[in-house]
């Protein structure tokens, strides 16, 4: 087993997550005796300056998310609204592929059911969700956007707990049992029942479909292994399937299956009162298969291994040095096949892909200033076809002005490797593609004027370079918004550029009964290819506002509301059309990328909770009324069959998400 | 990989309207074009009858031109050979929702084509007819004809000027023409479509009025599409083969007695031939 050093960044935990106990932060900063438990937890929770954290308590009570903690991320500043309320990550003007969702620092093969319906993990397995919209620690790499790190609860339960839950979407069950003082077992399983409800409804409407069905499960062993620390072993898996036939006895027009299985192990230990270490390894198998119109097919599979070893030292007092040193590896055997006979497209490849990195971060504490220079050196190989390296220098600074003010600044480079299909010259790839790069810069301030009140503001400016562009557009028939411009048939190249800039404001007010939170993001995200004009990014949303309130009432009632306002996504309008006479079809003709924008989005979500406490168990009922005003927002641009007018795909009407949960 | 499938999941279960929106014509739109004969020798002229829907009653000019190539919309039309023009073209004014033009579709015969067709007895569809209906003064090729400075590049690549013309003021369509060197008796003929009703179809608001047609000729199998400016039809697409076919016109609930609209039915035999019925529908 490797020995590594886990280094803490500048102390930022409480400022970013006002739910923290101030006493706990001060205790971690003191030279006084620090319990190993607090230090390990705090070390994980201080991974990154500028990190924003959401607790599971927040997820349980805030409206509009149906208790899904990852969906809560969309309430935070810097995160754009995803279509249809899905969990697609759109962080600071970047696309879904440019951000990462991790579980305890290691990648999850698939994060969401059906690409965004609900997270694949039972929330009881998690303690909190950390979101870093930019300038992430060198602990995180392989991305040019942001990071969402799901963090599991490593506390051994003191007694057995169990839960049964029922909602509109799914049934769930979980349990945790302390076997000994040092060993506990946790398990959770969920299954959707949309198919049981929707199936008969679809048949009655004359639609032949195998309704969406998903299930997931996790089994976990937590153990205190003496001086070595805490050992956390988890097996998890997920399976999604959906098919739509159109007419009886026909081949499926849409046939989708997504599944993964993973086993991971993590050891958290303390080599000394100052040095903490983390060793994590995970192995998994992922399969994704999609068939459209019975003939277009996309298949991706991977056998992957992820590992990390890290050492961390906390800075203390007024003059001290902290450090973080680590190494991580991600890779395995990947294969894919994409076929679309109508476009004579048949592309496939198979082979090993590995990325590795070593990283180091020093934190010098000089009174009120923490300065953290860091570097991440990363390397990628794709069989014998491709090898490249990249260096990612980063610098972060934190200034503590008394107890109420924090000022932050950060700058640094991030790197993201091209996809295998873009590199593999045995298929459609191009040799010598460079990795995509981003220079991320941010400047922020946080203020806590009163107990329970917290405010923050950040301005940011990011530049994206060497973005891979080219025939990647053909994948949009499987993967993306409706294709809005003629397919790009050029070979892959690094001619893409991006620029993103904006500001974020957020405020949170907590009392014993009431939580009020507001977040406003004003930004602009643009892209261009070569020396073409800049155009708006597909997910550019200049204004995004989320306002939430939740209040506890007597007799275990709680009411909550959420208002969301935001810009519509841009699209390129169809300027004209050409009719293919004899084929009864039309070819759209676009102008000079003059972009228009879908109408602004707004919605109101309401939530009511009621709890009953009995001798040995507790029952909670909830109603999360999403889009309570029945406003049919335009979510995705689309046109009538003849392209004569815009006919956007509208969002869901009012969706009442009932939930019932019993806990022992 | 799955976001598009998720959008499709959302769309499942939508109820179907009584009228298929694809049959409703609300703005300027080409309905179809019949090329007579349906199959020609290379270099032969053909009579082309083009039908256009013009619900707004615009004054319209038309232009028809040819492009012989493998990519008719990509600026790859054949260049002139021996100084002769590589294409045929004509202009005029749309009258009563249609125009007729005599044109030579395959003017620039590719080397070896005739010999190839003679040898194989096959067909060739490498020539496209471009059909443009446009409000006066809006379309660059028509303006260039008026100014006597029409150049090939304007017709080679309509996408250079078409985006600048509003959709409600110009409609451009493309139709492939079929050529062979078979004897006339062996060449494909256009199908026939005879309405089996004598009077103007009419119905009360909310009614569904059946229109029956008798189809003749050779089909590959074929397809048939109805259109109307008043109300619409239940089904956008029907299979077409020898015999009778029934399309159902739906009278809109909001229609007033005496309202009159235009209707068309287009049949394509999928062998290069077509037929169009044009008529009137009325609210009783």
User: Is residue A115 left, alpha or beta, with left meaning phi > 0 and alpha meaning psi from -120 to 50?
Assistant: left
In chain A, which among 16-35 make CB contacts under 8 A with chain B? none
* Best CA proximity match to A570, nearest among A528, A593, A526, A540: A540
Least confident of A177-191, A472-486, A601-615, B118-132: A472-486
Residue B156: its H or E element: helix B152-156
**Cβ–Cβ gap A576/B13 under 8 Å:** no
Q: How far apart are alpha carbons B40 and B183 in whole angstroms?
A: 10
Contact list in B for residue A479 (CB cut-off 8 A) is 1-4
Instruction: Report residue B73 as tokens.
Output: 């919309």
Q: How far apart are alpha carbons A573 and A542 in whole angstroms?
A: 19
Q: How far is A271 from chain B (nearest CA, A)?
A: 43
CA A213 to chain centre: 22
Which tens digit of pLDDT belongs to each residue from A146-161?
999 999 988 888 899 9
Which tens digit of pLDDT belongs to each residue from A274-297?
899 999 999 999 999 988 877 788
* Best CA proximity match to A508, nearest among A526, A498, A520, A497: A520
pLDDT at A619: 95
Q: Is the omega angle on the peptide bond into residue A567 within 30 degrees of 0, that is, cis?
A: no
Q: What is the mean pLDDT of residues A438-465?
A: 94
Contact list in A for residue B173 (CB cut-off 8 A) is 578-581
* Best CA proximity match to A59, nearest among A142, A139, A138, A121: A121
What's the start-to-end Cα distance of chain A, in Å?
39
CB A518 within 8 A of CB A547: yes
Residue A88 at interface with chain B, using a CB cutoff of 8 Å: yes
Whether the per-residue pLDDT at A504 is higher than 90: the answer is yes
Which tens digit of pLDDT belongs to each residue from A511-537?
989 999 999 999 999 999 999 899 999
Q: How far apart are alpha carbons B67 and B173 in whole angstroms?
A: 13
Q: What is the mean pLDDT of residues A560-565?
A: 95
Q: For residue B49, report the phi and psi dihedrals to the nearest 5 degrees.
A: -110, 120
User: Is residue A402 left, alpha or beta, with left meaning phi > 0 and alpha meaning psi from -120 to 50?
Assistant: left
Residue A154 at interface with chain B, using a CB cutoff of 8 Å: no
Beta bridge mates, A91: A79
Q: How far apart are alpha carbons A86 and A655 in whole angstroms?
A: 14
Q: How far apart are alpha carbons A123 and A101 in whole angstroms?
A: 15
Q: How many residues does chain A have?
A: 664
Q: What is the DSSP string of A566-611?
A: EPPPEEPPEEEEEEETTTTEEEEEE-SS--EEPPPEEEEEEEEEEE
Q: For residue A70, report the phi and psi dihedrals to the nearest 5 degrees.
A: -75, -30
Q: For residue B154, report the phi and psi dihedrals to the nearest 5 degrees.
A: -65, -35
For each of chain B's 284 residues, which pLDDT tens digit applies? 444 444 444 443 333 348 999 999 999 999 999 999 999 888 888 999 999 999 999 999 999 998 876 443 444 666 555 555 568 899 999 999 999 999 888 877 777 778 888 887 788 887 889 999 999 999 999 999 999 999 888 888 888 899 999 999 999 999 989 988 888 888 899 999 999 998 899 999 999 999 999 999 999 889 999 999 999 999 999 999 999 999 999 999 999 999 999 999 999 999 999 999 999 999 99
Sign of CA dihedral A474, A478, A481, A483: positive
More confident of the two residues B193 and A55: B193
Instruction: Report residue B76 as tokens.
Output: 């790859």
Residue A207 at interface with chain B, using a CB cutoff of 8 Å: yes
pLDDT at B53: 96
Burial of A439 (0-12, 13-18, 19+ CB in 10 A): middle
| Most B-contacting residue of A582, A585, A591, A637 (CB-CB within 10 A), to test interface | A582
CB B222 within 8 A of CB B242: no
Question: Which residue on chain B is closest to A212 by alpha carbon?
Answer: B9
**Cβ–Cβ gap A649/B165 under 8 Å:** no
Residue A652 at interface with chain B, using a CB cutoff of 8 Å: yes
**DSSP assignment, residue A486?**
P
User: What value, to the nearest 5°, has the Cα angle with vertex A52 and ends A90 and A105?
Assistant: 80
Residue A212 at interface with chain B, using a CB cutoff of 8 Å: yes
More confident of the two residues A106 and A253: A106
In chain A, which among 307-326 make CB contacts under 8 A with chain B? none
Which tens digit of pLDDT belongs to each residue from A246-259?
555 566 677 888 89
More confident of the two residues A26 and A550: A550
More confident of the two residues B123 and A332: A332
Sequence-separated (6 or more) residues with CB below 8 Å from residue A640:
A647, B21
pLDDT at A555: 92
CB A72 within 8 A of CB A517: no
**Cβ–Cβ gap B173/A288 under 8 Å:** no
User: What value, to the nearest 5°, has the Cα angle with vertex B152 and ends B146 and B153?
Assistant: 105
Q: How far is A464 from chain B (nearest CA, A)?
A: 23
CB atoms within 10 A of CB A70: 25
Q: How far apart are alpha carbons A201 and B12 in whole angstroms?
A: 11
């Amino acid at each position: 087993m490797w020995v590594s050093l886990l280094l803490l960044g500048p102390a930022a935990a409480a400022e970013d997550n006002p739910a923290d106990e101030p006493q706990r932060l001060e205790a971690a900063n003191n030279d006084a005796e620090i319990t190993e438990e607090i230090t390990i937890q705090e070390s994980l929770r201080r991974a990154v300056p500028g990190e924003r954290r959401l607790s599971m308590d927040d997820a349980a009570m805030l409206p509009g998310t149906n208790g899904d903690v990852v969906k809560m991320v969309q309430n935070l500043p810097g995160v754009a609204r995803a279509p249809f309320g899905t969990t697609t990550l759109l962080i600071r003007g970047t696309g879904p592929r440019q951000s990462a969702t991790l579980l305890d620092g290691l990648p999850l093969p698939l994060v969401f059911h059906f690409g965004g319906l609900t997270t694949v993990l039972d929330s009881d397995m998690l303690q909190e969700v950390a979101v870093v919209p930019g300038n992430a620690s060198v602990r995180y790499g392989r991305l040019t956007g942001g990071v969402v790190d799901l963090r599991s609860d490593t506390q051994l339960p003191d007694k057995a707990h169990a839960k049964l839950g029922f909602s509109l979407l799914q049934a769930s069950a979980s349990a945790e049992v302390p076997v000994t003082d040092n060993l506990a077992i946790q398990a959770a399983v969920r299954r959707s029942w949309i198919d049981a409800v929707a199936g008969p409804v679809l048949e009655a409407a004359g639609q032949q479909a195998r309704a969406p069905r998903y299930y997931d499960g996790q089994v976990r062993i937590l153990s205190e292994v003496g001086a070595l620390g805490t050992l956390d072993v988890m097996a998890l898996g997920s399976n999604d399937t959906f098919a739509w036939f159109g007419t009886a006895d026909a081949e499926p027009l849409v046939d989708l299956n997504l599944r993964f299985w993973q086993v991971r192990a993590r050891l958290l230990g303390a080599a000394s009162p100052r040095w903490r270490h983390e060793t994590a390894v995970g192995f998994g198998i992922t399969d994704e298969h999609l068939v459209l119109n019975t003939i277009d097919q996309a298949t991706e599979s991977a056998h992957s291994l992820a590992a990390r070893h890290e050492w961390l030292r906390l800075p203390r007092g007024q003059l001290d040095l902290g450090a973080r040193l680590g190494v991580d590896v991600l890779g395995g055997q990947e294969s894919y096949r994409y076929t679309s006979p109508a476009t004579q497209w048949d592309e496939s490849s198979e082979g090993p892909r590995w990325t590795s990195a070593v990283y180091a971060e020093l934190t010098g504490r000089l009174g009120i200033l923490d300065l953290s220079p860091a570097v991440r050196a990363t390397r990628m190989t794709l069989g014998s076809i491709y090898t490249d390296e990249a260096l990612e220098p980063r610098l972060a600074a934190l200034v503590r002005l008394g107890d109420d003010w924090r000022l932050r600044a950060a700058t640094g480079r991030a790197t993201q490797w091209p996809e295998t299909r873009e590199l593999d010259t045995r298929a459609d790839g191009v040799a010598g593609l460079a990795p995509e790069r981003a220079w991320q810069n941010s400047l922020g301030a946080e203020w806590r004027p009163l107990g329970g009140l917290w405010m923050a503001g950040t301005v940011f400016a990011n530049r994206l370079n060497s973005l891979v562009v080219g025939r990647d557009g053909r994948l949009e028939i499987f993967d993306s918004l409706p294709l809005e411009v003629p397919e790009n048939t050029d070979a892959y190249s690094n001619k893409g550029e991006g620029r993103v800039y904006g500001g974020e404001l957020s405020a949170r007010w907590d009392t014993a009964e009431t939580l009020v939170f507001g977040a406003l993001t004003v930004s602009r995200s643009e892209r261009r290819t070569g020396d073409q004009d800049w155009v708006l990014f597909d997910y550019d949303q200049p204004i995004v506002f989320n306002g939430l309130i939740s209040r506890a009432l007597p007799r275990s009632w709680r009411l909550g509301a959420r208002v969301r306002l935001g810009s519509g996504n841009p699209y390129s309008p169809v300027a004209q059309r050409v009719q293919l006479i004899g084929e009864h079809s039309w070819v759209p003709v676009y102008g000079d990328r003059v972009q228009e924008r879908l109408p602004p989005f707004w919605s109101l979500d309401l939530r009511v909770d009621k709890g009953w406490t009995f001798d040995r168990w507790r029952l909670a009922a909830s109603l999360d009324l999403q889009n309570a005003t029945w406003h049919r927002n335009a979510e995705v641009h689309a046109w009538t069959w003849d392209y004569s007018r815009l006919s956007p795909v509208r969002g869901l009407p009012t969706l009442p998400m009932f939930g019932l949960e019993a806990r022992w | 990989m799955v976001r598009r499938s998720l959008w499709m999941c959302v769309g499942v279960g939508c109820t179907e309207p009584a009228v298929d929106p694809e049959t409703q014509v609300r703005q300027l739109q080409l309905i179809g074009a019949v090329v007579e004969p349906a199959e020609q020798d290379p270099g032969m002229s053909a009579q082309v009858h083009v039908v256009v829907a013009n619900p707004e009653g615009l004054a319209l000019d038309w232009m028809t031109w040819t492009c012989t190539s493998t990519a008719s919309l990509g600026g790859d039309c054949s260049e002139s050979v021996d100084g002769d023009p590589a294409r045929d073209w004509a202009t005029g004014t749309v009258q009563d929702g249609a125009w007729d033009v005599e044109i030579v579709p395959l003017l620039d015969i590719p080397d070896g084509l005739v010999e190839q067709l003679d040898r194989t007895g096959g067909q060739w569809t490498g020539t496209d007819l471009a059909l443009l209906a446009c409000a006066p003064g809006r379309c660059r090729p028509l303006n260039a004809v008026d100014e006597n400075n029409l150049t090939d590049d304007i017709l080679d690549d309509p996408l250079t000027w078409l985006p600048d013309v509003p959709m409600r003021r110009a409609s451009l369509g493309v139709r492939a023409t079929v050529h062979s060197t078979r004897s006339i008796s062996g060449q494909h003929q256009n199908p026939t479509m005879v309405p089996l009703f004598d009077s103007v179809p009419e119905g009360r608001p909310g009614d569904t009025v059946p229109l029956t047609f008798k189809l003749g000729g050779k089909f590959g199998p074929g397809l048939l599409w109805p259109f109307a400016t008043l109300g619409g039809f239940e089904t956008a697409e029907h299979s077409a083969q020898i015999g009778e076919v029934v399309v159902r016109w739906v009278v809109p609930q909001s229609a007033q007695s005496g309202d009159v609209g235009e209707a068309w039915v287009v049949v394509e035999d999928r062998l290069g031939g077509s037929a169009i019925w044009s008529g009137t529908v009325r609210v009783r």
